A and B are shown apart, each in its own frame.
Chain A
Amino acid sequence: MTSATLTVASAPDRPRRNYELADVHHLASRMMLYLLAFTAVSVVGFPLFWMVLCSFKPGGELYATPPSFLPREWTLQNYRDLFVQTNFPTYFANSLIVAGGATLLSLVIGGLGAYSLSRFKFFGIAAFSNAALICYMLPEVLIVLPLYIYVVKLGLADTLFALIIANTAFTLPLALWFMRSYFNAIPVSLEESAMIDGCTRLQAMRRVTVPLALPGIISVGVFAFNHAWNEFLFALVFTSSERNKTLPLGLATWIGQDNIYSWGMLLAGAVLVTIPVVLFYLLVQRKLVVGLSEGGTKGE
């Protein structure tokens, strides 16, 4: 009797219990996933989080042992000191000039070159596109010495102009390759129609090809800007005066002089150097999506 009830009772039970087991298993693996993701995000994100937090700490707290986690007292003193006591504004302006100049040049020069690479098949053009890729792979340390010697001999040492040109050369190969692929994606027939409608070739390029390739051009621009904004070796080698330092060089010379420049100021500087990079990234993400969808409908 008892055994019979047991079998009767347990028979319909069994599949449900298995189901619960699968549920538990699923739940455990989900929890594991979240735990892993949380750990990864906190470990990877911590340094930047710490940078922002500490840039708001007053001097005393920055040197406290053990350090306080959250600032006990939030302050903008470090940011104020940066602008009042140091050449940070000069560095910032120099970096904007160098990065802006290099971006503009590599877009114009690279854009024209990429157009040629994409549209023509004359002698030497394919060879040049391969040569450009090899240039991209050249280590900076190989050419920095001869370049430095030229720059000194030409009297361009310690000028922003030399930095703009050097940065342009380093972003140009990638600009050429990327913009070529964007131009390749735009059918030549569109330009042909524009020319039949009375445009000159250059007008067709300016009014048809460039607007359609805009998302690509913008992302190349952001890449070039970022590269020049972060560039350190050429700035280090070419620049000697305080007046011509870019941000990375300026901040780098402060490291290790913590008697003059406090960690608070350094971290505040680091936050401010990072902001344009993040802004550009957000901008290009949005622009890219919008541009691509617009380009698509216009292309049809």
Chain B
Amino acid sequence: MAEARAALRGDRTLAYATLAPSVFLLLLLAGVPTITVFSTAMQDIGMGDMSGPYVGFENFAWALTSEAFYTALRNTFVWVFGSVALEMALGLGLALLLNKTFMFRGVARAIILAPYLVPTVVAVLVWRYMFHDIVGIINAGLLSIGIIDKPLLWLNSQSLAMLSVILVGVWKFFPFVVIALLGILQSIPQEQYEAAKIDGASSFQQFWRITLPYVMPVFLLTALLRTIWSFHKFEIIYLMTGGGPLDATTTLPILVYLKAFTDFEFGRGAAVAILTFAILVIFLGLYFALIKRAEDRQ
């Protein structure tokens, strides 16, 4: 037995051999690009042979002085905080609802979680059909009950495009919040509620004094995770509006793509990507600090 155990624990060759493919792949596809993106950002690269003269920090200087970058930054914050706030509110509300017992709860849960499973391109297709100014059901519905008197250009007007994209994003991603919060809600010890009821606490007081404090750490972590993911979300906005009309929904990831693959300015695209990542690192730092604190407390 001891011999087998020693053989199991001490097999250094096996340890490194089984880990090698993972290390190789991650180094090649995540490690190296993370470093070489800096060299890309310092070059004036166009299409063609994919290399160009070194220009130092010129691309960063361009980004930090261009209106396009600050517009994209502002749009990113509107997109991130708009969608995360709505996702968290809706997610908490529906998690509380699904935590109650009622008939057909399983069916209700499956339907409410469905948008999260559906591929993004599918979500976009359906919503673009529903938002369509002429044949869309949203305009038809609003016209028929008299809220509007002529069709709204949901995706093609400067003022409504961002709101429309946020609505679709919320629909697609709030189930993640529901899943996360439902897990923690179901782990709250029921005795706490029974004790509170005996003491005559109203259901609002029970929510405020028991449920909310219990849920709060997971709620904050989920909000932060959603912030990080929304921050570099690309495809849902790109597919809904392509960043338009004009630059109304151009967030930072969209700007990276447009610079590189529409204007063929790889260097500038890479510089914007690095600046985006730098902002994200702040959120990531916060995320890991929160996790660490939660682990220490346990």
Contacts and interface: CB of A to CB of B under 8 A. Distances in A.
Contact of B137 (A67, A201, A230, A247): A67
Contacts of B282: none
Nearest to B256: A141
Interface in B1-49: 1, 4-5, 7-9, 11-12, 14-16, 18-19, 21-23, 25-26, 28-34, 36-37, 40, 45
B126 interface: yes
A273 B9 CA distance: 46
A149 B122 contact: no
A128 interface: yes
A109 B22 contact: yes
Nearest to B51: A149
A67 B25 contact: no
A141 B256 CA distance: 7
Contacts of B127: 47
Nearest to A64: B135
A196 B3 CA distance: 9
Contacts of A278: 117
Contacts, number: 250
A191 B140 contact: no
B218 interface: no
A263 B129 contact: yes
A244 B240 CA distance: 23
Given A145-B37, A146-B40, A196-B1, A230 B120 contact: yes
A44 B171 contact: yes
B122 A145 contact: no
B234 interface: yes
B112 A267 contact: no
A41 B129 contact: no
A28 interface: no
Contacts of A143: 29-30, 33-34, 37
A24 interface: no
A229 B119 contact: yes
Interface in B106-141: 107-108, 111-112, 114-115, 117-130, 132, 134-135, 137, 140
A173 B26 contact: yes
A131 interface: yes
B30 to A, nearest CB: 4
B16 to A, nearest CB: 7
A17 B50 CA distance: 84
A109 B20 CA distance: 9
Contacts of B130: 47, 50
A112 B18 CA distance: 5
A266 B125 contact: yes
B226 to A, nearest CB: 13
Given A169-B30, A201-B14, A263-B129, A273 B119 contact: yes
Interface residues of A toward B: which range? 35 or more
A161 interface: no
Interface string A39-56: 011001101101100100
Secondary structure of the A contact surface, majority rule:
helix
A16 B13 CA distance: 79
B88 interface: no
A192 interface: yes
A73 to B, nearest CB: 17
A142 B8 contact: no
Contacts of B121: 230, 232, 247-248, 251-252, 270, 273
Contacts of B28: 169
Contact of B33 (A117, A146, A191, A273): A146
A165 interface: yes
Interface in A217-259: 226, 229-230, 232-233, 237, 247-248, 251-252, 255
Interface stretch (A80-88, A118-126, A290-298): A118-126
Contacts of B19: 112-113, 116-117, 125, 128
A176 interface: yes
A192 B5 contact: yes
20 contacts: A41-B107, A44-B114, A45-B111, A45-B112, A45-B114, A47-B171, A48-B126, A109-B25, A122-B16, A132-B26, A143-B37, A149-B45, A169-B30, A192-B5, A196-B4, A226-B117, A247-B121, A251-B125, A255-B125, A270-B125
Interface of A: 30, 33-34, 36-37, 40-41, 44-45, 47-48, 50-51, 54, 62-67, 109-110, 112-113, 115-117, 119-122, 125, 128, 131-132, 135, 137-150, 152-153, 165-166, 168-169, 172-173, 176, 188, 191-192, 195-196, 201, 226, 229-230, 232-233, 237, 247-248, 251-252, 255, 263, 266-267, 269-270, 273-274, 277-278, 281
